A and B are shown apart, each in its own frame.
Chain A
Amino acid sequence: MKAVLFGASKGMGRALARLMAARGDRLFLIGRTPEDLERSARDLEIRGAPTPVMTAFCDLLKPESFAPALDQAERELQGFDTVVVTAGMFAAQEEMETDPELAARVLAADFTGTVLFCEEARRRLLPTGGGTLCVFSSVAGERGRKPVILYGAAKAGLSKYLEGLDHKFRARGLRTVCVKPGFVKTGMTAGLKPPPMAGEPEAVARRVLRAIDRGRPEVYAPAAWRGVMCIIRNLPRFVMRKIEF
């Protein structure tokens, strides 16, 4: 597998990259902070990724950075068959309600930026016969919920976009994997109280990698969230208005 990883220096992206490194996949890292990417590249090399693991700058809030980053990846890897996007932004609902600029950034990164990046990736994957586009959305996009209205709206849009891609391009070989993590204990959620079914990044990564290998269009991680979200999706509005979940 030759994979471009966007956002592999932290959290679930880091855990997934390590599993891929351990089995010898060729990796190319893109992200916002060059020094940080370099450190992750060394980490992945020591864990078994074929050397050298190269890196390039890419920022969800700078769509002009998408094409050059993917071009460079294409050159260094001599073509790639997998693109994984774990990059994203999170902010608390209350914070975004009082800070429209922050809300704008989160919406731009998690929806517009991610979708435009996927478009660039799709354009490069399709001519070579397809491959896999794995993108981390969220269970927050499953239902309009009080604690994650804005973040959830961006992720809902992203999930629907990925579903559309899958419908249109699967026949041409592009396998779209939409990952819907529930609560996972990472740096991003360090300040939040973990619910009973909170997952560990490594277990989530193992599940996601299996979904990538099998080309599953949708994966909940940890698995228990599939059932939880099935209930949440079917709760009547009067209940959703009452509860704080």
Chain B
Amino acid sequence: MTLQPHRSKLTGWGRFPVVDGLVLKSEDLPAATEGATLSRGLGRSYGDSSLPAGADLPVADATLADRLLGFDPASGMLRAEAGASLFELNRVFLRRGWFVPVSPGTQFVTLGGMVASDVHGKNHHVDGCFGEHVRGLKLRVADGRIIECSDTAEQELFRATIGGMGLTGHILEVEFPMRQIPSPWIWGESQRIEDLDLMVAGLKEAAREWPMTVGWIDCLARGAKLGRGILMKGRWARADEAPKKPPPLKGRLRVPFQFPGIALCKPNMKAFNLAYYWKHIQRVRRGIVHPDAFFYPLDALDDWNLIYGRRGFTQYQCVLPHTDGNGPARRFLERFVSAGGMGFLCVIKDCGAEGKGMLSFPRPGISIAMDFPIHPTKTPALVDRLNELVIAEGGRIYLTKDTFTRPEHFRAMEPRLEAFNAVRRKWDTKVRIRSAQSVRLLGDPA
């Protein structure tokens, strides 16, 4: 029997926009991708990256293609189907003393998605993006062929696919080395920080000693308190300091329904940010931390995106190069507050070197990410103002989070786009493989 597509409401994690799409879903990913114009995984990119360019353009859902195909305990090399989730990998490997070389802030992502977004994590300053560690990919390209690519075979295609938002072909299989860890627990230290200068200095200092760092900032604090927050540092606990038992599988709570819009009014956001900051009443905390609590704090709450209500939400994430100390980050936060921005969660991280992915997001500098509910007119205007600043500072945005950027703004911050497009056109002359995002930003036909 040939695989029949079915209609399904598709959205990213931000629940905006919504497409009534045609979905091909099967354990057999090569079959599902045969007639598809895009592949998607667990739909954790925030905006329109995983949405088809049109309601009648079929998209392959890879989540049932989740088999592990080979694991070498000597080298840690793992090969798996692209729909395998990080949650599954953690469940299978964490207790045995293995972990992915790079993990994003949620484990509900597929390997294919991790490659397409070239995800980064708390260890970016040491280990770079996930793509740096990928040894090989099996890809179905636009003309239907299935190709194996790596740094030695079809290198151009390989590097365009890492961070290429799924626009170079359908990722079918991913190969990369898992990393051996001394115990499945984290030794963590967190510190309350009073302002932005101290936060950036803290991140830089921590980066020298700690393999994993990240900061949370209260994005509603202004003036002298601008940039205050919590700095988190961690490393894998040594076997002698870790509990003898492996970390228990944590129960998860579910957000039962879509919250009303009023839930995220300014006083509530202020209260949340204030509570989060002052919850950390001691200046410094140290100790053993559950890996889920360290890497994936928000995963404890299933469907937390429903908190943002009917209109959905977006995340804005950019990286700003260091030009004059903390100037760029300070100007960014000031602009955010002055443009009427109201954020719930704001994450700050110093990035390491740029990766091999042709369109990969991180570059040396400070990355700032913030979530906010969507307002039909105010949000696009806010994103415009932030993008103007990012362009002026010589930074760039993360496509995985983006919903509202204008194409001219994107082109202005992406001198690498030309080269990426050239590779794409070489493998896909008719631009068959495309997404709602590539129509919006790269000028693909709808």
Contact surface of A with B, Cβ cutoff 8 Å: 9-11, 14, 36, 39-40, 42-43, 46-47, 91, 186-187, 190-192
Contact = CB atoms under 8 A, between A and B. Distances in A.
Interface string B27-49: 11000000000000000000000
B64 A39 contact: no
A187 B26 CA distance: 5
B27 A42 contact: no
Contacts of A186: 64
Contacts of B23: 190
Contacts of B81: 39
B67 A40 contact: yes
Contacts of A9: 27
Contacts of B1: 91
A39 B67 contact: yes
B27 A43 contact: no
Contacts of A11: 27
Interface string B9-25: 00000000000000101
A10 B27 CA distance: 7
A40 B69 CA distance: 8
Interface residues of B, number: 18
Nearest to B24: A190
A46 B27 contact: no
Contact of B27 (A14, A47, A191, A192): A14
Given A187-B26, A187-B27, A43 B6 contact: no
Nearest to B73: A46
Contacts of A46: 68, 70-71, 92
Given A46-B92, A47-B92, A190 B70 contact: no
B26 A39 contact: no
A89 B321 CA distance: 57
Contacts, number: 38
Given A190-B6, A191-B6, A47 B26 contact: no
B26 A43 contact: no
B4 interface: yes
Given A46-B92, A91-B1, 18 more contacts: A9-B27, A14-B27, A36-B28, A39-B67, A42-B70, A43-B67, A43-B68, A43-B69, A47-B68, A47-B92, A187-B25, A187-B26, A187-B27, A187-B64, A190-B6, A190-B23, A190-B26, A192-B6
Interface of B: 1, 4-6, 23, 25-28, 61, 64, 67-71, 81, 92
Contacts of A43: 67-69
B64 A42 contact: no
A190 B25 contact: yes
Query: Which 5 residue pairs of A and B lie closest in terms of their CB atoms, listed nearest first?
Result: A191-B6, A43-B67, A190-B25, A46-B68, A46-B71
Contacts of A190: 6, 23, 25-26, 61, 64
A43 B4 CA distance: 26
A37 to B, nearest CB: 11
A91 B4 CA distance: 12
21 contacts: A9-B27, A10-B27, A11-B27, A36-B28, A39-B67, A39-B69, A39-B81, A40-B67, A42-B69, A43-B69, A46-B68, A46-B71, A46-B92, A47-B92, A187-B26, A187-B27, A187-B64, A190-B23, A190-B64, A191-B4, A191-B5
A223 B356 CA distance: 50
A186 B25 CA distance: 9
Contacts of A42: 67-70
A39 B65 CA distance: 11
A49 to B, nearest CB: 12
B316 to A, nearest CB: 33
**Residue in B23, B26, B92 whose Cβ sees the most chain A Cβ within 10 Å:** B92
Contacts of B25: 187, 190
Nearest to A90: B1
A245 to B, nearest CB: 20
Contacts of A10: 27
A45 B69 CA distance: 9
Contacts of A40: 67
